[in-house]
């Protein structure tokens, strides 16, 4: 995974970020030292030193690194397979030594010479990589050495193997997520011109961006630590998100005829469509509504988009044919997902609402009695809900959030910028106890459960008090069961 650092130009890097090599202005030029910078950097100063090893006039020959260029092009061409290997931690290349440029079978970092502060020590004395930004990934790549160079140039220095570092795989994923997103955007842009369903294509792109954002918020907690539950929620959320995108891509590849959404977009362009949001916004909103859904199909035919469609055809004169299609309910009501019955409550239609009203007490009692469900049984939308509300994030995170909020209000607080990377140092922290996890999920779904009961009770005729209403509702449910 560290090999992805060589997709960046070392000469362009700054605190604001880095630039990727491409086949146009930023072709990779390999120097006499074996390191590469982009052609644009070389053209600015052909006599410049190598930014990695500081060898002078290393790029005077302007030699294009075609092997690196081919690697980048292959990654773009076969992006989806490349991304899945990246997520699984396989097939993303080997690490090169920053000193001799040879492949390092056992890459190391010299702690004595760690000028870029690539490593930091935790409270328990264990080392971990400092990988917050792309620039940190590049700094790490310039510090990695092979075993031979460690013995030759770093004799009697303290070195550590990369595979002995804490959170190595998680840190590298977080640091390389931006390049994965950049490659994803380039890949989708190339496929856009020939797509048979424009809205499916837009949905996949927006869903991908939505998913990659989760990589930037890694909690990196060990099992038994207070942030472990959220880490598992996030992992399962990303897994299901990738599987969801996989199904969408497969479906899109099988469509041979042009979809109606393409014709609608063409009509919008042809008629000079105007609106406050603009043509692109008004068209993309169809896809925005279904980012969190696992339903397949063109977003044009999802039920929540029906009114938007009618507005567009009124402005463009496009013939309405959605009515001839079977509209797809957007609500992912998954009977195997324990939370769907709660989280889907507000999105359901009249028929489903009647079911909630009839069974509200049973739903509420089952919700309260239930243990924490296995995360694998939750659907993508419910996992997104738990992840979005930071269900059982570590106490260190919550403490830092309070400190950040205090800082925004102008309160004088001793705030440490990297403190949320520290481990929870409270051995008696209640969040370490997995028995509390189920109450965490209940805490974030109690509002949904309460609304179901209130609406169900409200359907009972008469002005009874709350306790009597509940008892009456339970009796009505028992009678219905006996009748069946």
Q: Give the pLDDT of residue 148.
A: 92
Q: Give the pLDDT of residue 409.
A: 46
Q: Give the pLDDT of residue 459.
A: 63
Mean pLDDT in the chain? Answer: 74
> Which residue shows structure tokens 């009501």?
333
Q: Give the pLDDT of residue 394.
A: 55
Q: Where do the DSSP E strands lie in 333-383?
A: none
H helix or E strand, kind and range, residue 152 = helix 147-153
Over its C-alpha atoms, the chain yields an Rg (Å, rounded) of: 28
Does residue 246 or residue 371 have the better pLDDT?
246
Lowest mean pLDDT among 203-217, 321-335, 356-370, 466-480: 466-480
pLDDT at 42 over 70: yes
% of the chain exceeding 90 in pLDDT: 6
Structure tokens, 293? 């859904």
DSSP-derived letter for residue 193 is T
Q: Where do the DSSP E strands lie in 328-469?
A: none
Q: Give the pLDDT of residue 448.
A: 72
Structural domains of the chain ordered from first start: 2-170 (3.30.40.10), 195-324 (no CATH), 340-483 (no CATH)
- For 108, the 3-state DSSP assignment is strand
Residues contacting 13, CB < 8 A, separation 6+: 19, 51, 134, 135, 138
Instruction: Considering only the C-alpha atoms of the chain, give the largest distance between any 2 of them, rounded to a whole number of Å.
Output: 90
pLDDT at 416 over 50: no
pLDDT at 46 over 80: yes
Q: Give the pLDDT of residue 209.
A: 84
pLDDT at 353 over 70: no
Lowest mean pLDDT among 103-107, 119-123, 172-176, 324-328: 324-328
DSSP-derived letter for residue 159 is E
Nearest partner of 183 among 217, 212, 218, judged by Cα: 212
Lowest mean pLDDT among 214-228, 295-309, 470-484: 470-484
Rounded to whole angstroms, the Cα distance separating 43 from 209 reads 34
- For 229, the 3-state DSSP assignment is helix
Q: Give the pLDDT of residue 154.
A: 92
Find the length of the chain: 484
* CB burial string 432-469: b at 16+ within 10 A, e below: beeebbeebbeebbeebbeebbeebbeebeeeeeeeeb
Chain-centroid distance, C-alpha 293: 15
pLDDT band at 473 (very low <50, low <70, confident <90, very high): low
Q: Which pLDDT tens digit goes with each residue over 128-182? A: 777 766 667 777 887 889 999 999 999 889 898 888 776 667 777 777 777 788 8
């Amino acid at each position: 995974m560290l090999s992805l650092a060589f997709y960046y130009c070392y000469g362009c890097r700054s605190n604001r970020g880095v630039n990727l090599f491409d086949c146009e202005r930023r072709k990779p030029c390999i120097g006499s030292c074996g390191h590469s910078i982009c052609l644009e950097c070389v053209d600015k100063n052909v006599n410049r030193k190598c930014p990695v090893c500081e060898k002078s006039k290393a790029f005077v020959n302007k030699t294009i690194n075609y092997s690196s260029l081919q690697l980048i092009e292959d990654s773009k061409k076969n992006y989806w397979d490349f991304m899945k290997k990246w997520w699984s931690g396989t097939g993303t290349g080997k690490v090169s030594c920053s000193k001799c440029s040879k492949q390092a079978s056992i890459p190391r970092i010299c702690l004595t010479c760690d000028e870029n502060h690539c490593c930091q020590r935790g409270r328990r004395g264990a080392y971990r990589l400092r990988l917050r930004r792309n620039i940190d990934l590049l700094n790490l790549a310039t510090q990695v050495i092979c075993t031979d160079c460690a013995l030759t140039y770093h004799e009697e220095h303290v070195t550590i193997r990369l595979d002995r570092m804490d959170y190595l795989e998680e840190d590298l994923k977080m640091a390389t997520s931006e390049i994965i997103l950049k490659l994803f955007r380039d890949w989708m842009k190339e496929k856009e011109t020939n797509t048979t369903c424009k809205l499916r294509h837009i949905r996949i792109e927006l869903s991908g961006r939505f998913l990659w954002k989760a990589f930037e918020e890694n909690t990196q907690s060990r099992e038994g630590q207070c942030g472990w539950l959220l880490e598992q929620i996030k992992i399962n959320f990303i897994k299901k998100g990738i599987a969801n995108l996989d199904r969408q891509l497969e479906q899109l590849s099988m469509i041979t005829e042009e979809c109606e959404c393409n014709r609608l977009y063409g009509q919008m362009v042809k008629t000079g469509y105007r609106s406050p949001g603009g043509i692109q916004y008004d068209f993309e909103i169809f896809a925005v509504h279904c980012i969190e859904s696992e339903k397949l199909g063109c977003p044009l035919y999802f039920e929540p988009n029906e009114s938007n469609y009618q507005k567009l055809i009124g402005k463009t004169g496009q013939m309405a044919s959605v009515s001839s299609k079977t509209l797809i309910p957007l609500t992912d009501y998954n009977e195997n997902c324990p939370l769907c019955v709660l989280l889907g409550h507000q999105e359901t239609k009249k028929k489903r609402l009647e079911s909630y009203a009839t069974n509200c007490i049973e739903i509420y009692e089952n919700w309260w009695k239930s243990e924490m469900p296995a995360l694998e049984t939750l659907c993508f939308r419910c996992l997104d809900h738990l992840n979005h509300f930071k269900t059982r994030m570590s106490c260190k995170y919550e403490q830092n959030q309070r400190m950040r909020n205090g800082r925004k209000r102008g309160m004088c607080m001793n705030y440490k910028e990297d403190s949320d990377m520290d481990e929870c140092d409270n051995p008696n922290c209640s969040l370490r106890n997995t028995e509390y996890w189920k109450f965490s999920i209940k805490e974030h779904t109690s509002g949904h459960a309460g609304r179901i009961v209130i609406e169900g009770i409200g359907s009972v005729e008469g002005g009874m008090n709350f306790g009597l209403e509940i008892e009456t509702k339970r009796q009505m449910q028992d009678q219905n069961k006996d009748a069946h």
